[in-house]
Structure 1
Amino acid sequence: MSEDISGIMQDAESKMAKTIDVTKEEFTTIRTGRANAAMFQNITVEYYGAPTPLNQLASLQFPEARTVIVTPYDKSATTAVETALRESDLGVNPTNNGDNLRLVLPALTEERRRDYVKQAKNKAEDGRIAVRGTRGNAKKAIEKLVKDKEIGEDEGTRAEKDLEALTKKYIEQIDQALAAKETELATV
């Protein structure tokens, strides 16, 4: 395999691996029966006119499986944090204790579990689309090498087969992560 093809393949593989990491991280933001810090990762709070991530404004504690205590570092931001939590897709209504906010995550209903599974499937499909996009870009690069006669057609065909195998491997990893998340969501 020529250096050009190995470079294209390495680049494609690293991009596909990053896609897997991003997809798995997206899965962690989907709520399951237990509270975890990743659920709050995408929540931003309007703080002095700028959208600020919640984890930069407050500490999170998890005393029980479905209870979260949010303690803002700046007490003047408590109202803004409370509003951001109420408007988030977590479906919670924070209780303001003066110093902190107490969240009790509602038990997941069957309908809510189905919604979360649907969300997970959408995130998995986004990951698959990204992997296929990477494959398409790599395939174009290989075809360009063949067209410019930098490599032979046989070598180009072999590289495309290797690229297909690589794509299949990463799509299977996304499918496995999705199956694990679906199982996690189905567990009461």
Structure 2
Amino acid sequence: MLKDIINNADEKMQKTINVLKKDLASMKAGRANPAMLDKIEAEYYGTMTPLNQLGSVSVPEPRILQIQPWDKAAIKAIEKAILKSDLGLNPSSDGVVIRLIIPELTEETRKNIVKTVRKTGEEAKIAIRAVRRDCNDKLKSLKKEADISEDDIKKTEEEIQKKTDNFVKEIDKILDVKEKEIMSI
């Protein structure tokens, strides 16, 4: 039973890390990255469809994203979705492919993106700590219900705390890498 609580905590904390990595990948850092388009959906025949399902996304040059729609009728919808997004990019189309030129980031823009990265990281840390709190609450209720020794409960709490500390350190490492990527010119 205690192992289940530990395994559950580990699984939830790892999911938090995965979500953080995905969120950070979608933030622009002055370089073209297909993950920037992951959250954008275009209306295609009345259905909101992710861009990566409407065509292939490639990076022909470090600062250019290229979208080649499988259906040429989707070009206008894709352009419209990109313009409506919060990326601030202007799509240019030649009727076959859509190109997005990623502009150089100013120092101020870089600092604002770093602030957003830190905020996202802090939200991930809060989620990790919430998992720890839930596990500790389960342990306290187990202490009352089941006949598990006080020592076993204490050891499990310590193990969950170690996992929490390790995942928080991992978040800090991920944030450092992303900040360096953003601040490098």
TM range (shorter): over 0.9
RMSD (Å) for aligned C-alpha atoms: 1.3
Q: Distance in 2 between matches of 1:138 and 1:131?
A: 11
1:83 partner SS:
helix
The aligned residue for residue 65 of structure 1 is 62
2:156 counterpart letter in structure 1: A
1:119 and 2:119 equivalent?
no
Q: Distance in 2 between matches of 1:160 and 1:106?
A: 48
Q: Write out aligned runs for 1:152-163 (5 A).
A: 152-163=149-160
Q: Is the 8 A contact 2:34 2:65 kept in 1?
A: no
Structure 1 gap segments, 5+ residues each: none
Greater shift after overlay, 178-187 or 95-104? Answer: 95-104
The aligned residue for residue 146 of structure 1 is 143
The aligned residue for residue 4 of structure 2 is 7
TM-score using structure 1 length: 0.93
Q: Is the 8 A contact 1:61 1:69 kept in 2?
A: yes
1:18 counterpart letter in structure 2: K
Q: Distance in 2 between matches of 1:87 and 1:118?
A: 23
Q: Distance in 1 between matches of 2:18 and 2:147?
A: 34
Aligned length: 185
1:136 maps to which of 122, 129, 133: 133
2:3 counterpart letter in structure 1: S
Q: Distance in 1 between matches of 2:31 and 2:157?
A: 43
Task: After the TM superposition, list the runs of 4 or more consecutive aligned residues in structure 1 that deviate by more than 6 angstroms.
Answer: none
CA deviations 1:64-104 (Å, max 9, x no partner) are: 11112212111111111001111222211111211121211
Q: Write out aligned runs for 1:31-180 (5 A).
A: 31-180=28-177
Report the Cα offset of residue 29 of structure 1: 0.8
TM-score using structure 2 length: 0.94
Q: Distance in 1 between matches of 2:47 and 2:107?
A: 37
Q: Distance in 2 between matches of 1:174 and 1:186?
A: 18
CA deviations 1:152-171 (Å, max 9, x no partner) are: 22321222122111111111
Q: Distance in 1 between matches of 2:21 and 2:66?
A: 26
CA deviations 1:1-47 (Å, max 9, x no partner) are: xxx11111111111111211221121111111210111111111111
Q: Is the 8 A contact 1:37 1:60 kept in 2?
A: yes
Q: Distance in 2 between matches of 1:163 and 1:70?
A: 44
Q: Is the 8 A contact 1:120 1:178 kept in 2?
A: yes
1:29 and 2:17 equivalent?
no
Structure 2 gap segments, 5+ residues each: none
Q: Distance in 1 between matches of 2:116 and 2:155?
A: 37
Q: 1:61 to 1:159 in 2, by over 3 A?
A: closer
1:21 partner SS:
helix
